[in-house]
Amino acid sequence: MWAFIHKLGSPKWFYGISARLMPWFWAAATLLILAGTIWGLAFAPADYQQGNSFRIIYVHVPAAFLAQSIFVGMASAGLVFMVWKIKVADMAAAVMAPLGAAMTFVALFSGGVWGIPTWGTWWIWDARLTSMLILLFLYVGVIALRGAFASRDSGSRAASVLAMVGVINIPIIKYSVDWWYTLHQPASFTITSRPTMPLEMWAPLLMMVLGFYCFFIALTLMRTRNEILRRESGKRWVQALAEESV
């Protein structure tokens, strides 16, 4: 196990293993998202109160899950980079941030679209919505901080520290609906408790969530590979790879 993690830290080894893993995650993501979308939008029954507008859940919930998970992933990668000085971890953290920001935006936007027919408003300053907006700002801050330094190493360290401190916001987002009165509903979809909806509504949601996670893994592997080539372009193995493909 430790040997495997150690080897992951080598850019060359990571480049090799990710090439083999990536197609599986792409295939799983495509299949799950396609099947989940068709099932969720066309075949799942409409909700007894919200009608068809509840189908926004099939985009909203997976995007919100990913937005929070990516931030935790980014902060963990930042910790590994800061303590163990593993460069691949920093590359992964760098490529995760834009996707996380995009997913946060999708969650906020789809929530606003959903809010108009159900709540009667697209935005309200309740604890869940506000903490999610703060997450978007944290992502933007991490991306900006990384680019704000002349030396890449300083930028990486500053971004890692902000990500690690910002991770405090994640439990606040998660428990905001339990700790305070909010307009947002409590969680419908958790791993720890029974689903609050019948199987024919819940199963496509599970597929979408898994599909989004596979998409995230595949995209992060792909973009980390690009980042490795970019940063290691002076290394012999990368140049050999380039000559091979010419």
Partner 1 sequence: MTPKRKQKLFVILGLVSLAAIAIGLTLYALRSNINLFFSPIQIAAGEAPIDRQIRAGGMVKEGSVTRNRDSLDVEFVVTDFVEDLAVRYSGILPDLFREGQGVVVVGRLTEEGVLRADEVLARHDENYMPTEVAEALEAAGYSPADYGVKLD
Shorter beta-carbon distance to partner 1: residue 49 or 245? 49
CA–CA gap between residue 46 and residue 57 (Å, rounded)? 12
User: Between 86 and 95, whose beta carbon lies closer to partner 1?
Assistant: 86
Nearest to partner 1 of 3, 246 (CB atom):
3
Helix axes 87-118, 57-84, angle to 10 degrees: 160
Residue with tokens 């300083």: 154
Is the CB of 17 or the CB of 206 nearer to partner 1? 206
Span between the terminal Cα atoms of the chain, in Å:
37
Q: Which of 162, 160, 158, 142 is nearest to 150 (CA)?
A: 158
What percent of the residues of the chain are helix, what percent strand, and what percent coil, each to the nearest 5?
80, 0, 20
The Cα–Cα gap between 8 and 89 comes to 9
Between 10 and 182, name the residue whose CB sits nearer to partner 1.
182
Which amino acid is present at 41? L
Q: How far is the CB of 67 from partner 1 (least distance, A)?
A: 19
* Residues within the interface to partner 1 (CB under 8 A): 45-50, 54, 57, 79, 82-84, 117-121, 124-127, 161, 164-165, 167-168, 172, 179-183, 185-188, 194, 196-198, 200-201
Whichever of 164 and 210 has its CB closer to partner 1, that residue is 164
* Cβ distance to partner 1 smaller for residue 28 or 79: 79
* Residue 33 C-beta: closest distance to partner 1, Å: 20
Q: How far is the CB of 15 from partner 1 (least distance, A)?
A: 25
Q: What DSSP state is assigned to residue 119?
A: T
Displacement of CA 215 from its chain's centroid (Å): 9
Distance CA 8, CA 120 (A): 49
Shortest distance, position 80 Cβ to partner 1, whole Å: 10
Report the distance separating Cα 116 and Cα 238, nearest Å. 52
Q: Which residue reads 């850019």 in tokens?
A: 11
**HEC readout, 62-87:** HHHHHHHHHHHHHHHHHHHHHHHCCH
As measured in angstroms, the least distance from the Cβ of 36 to partner 1 is: 16
Q: In whole angstroms, how close is the CB of 194 to partner 1 at the nearest point?
A: 5
Nearest distance from C-beta of residue 44 to partner 1, angstroms: 8
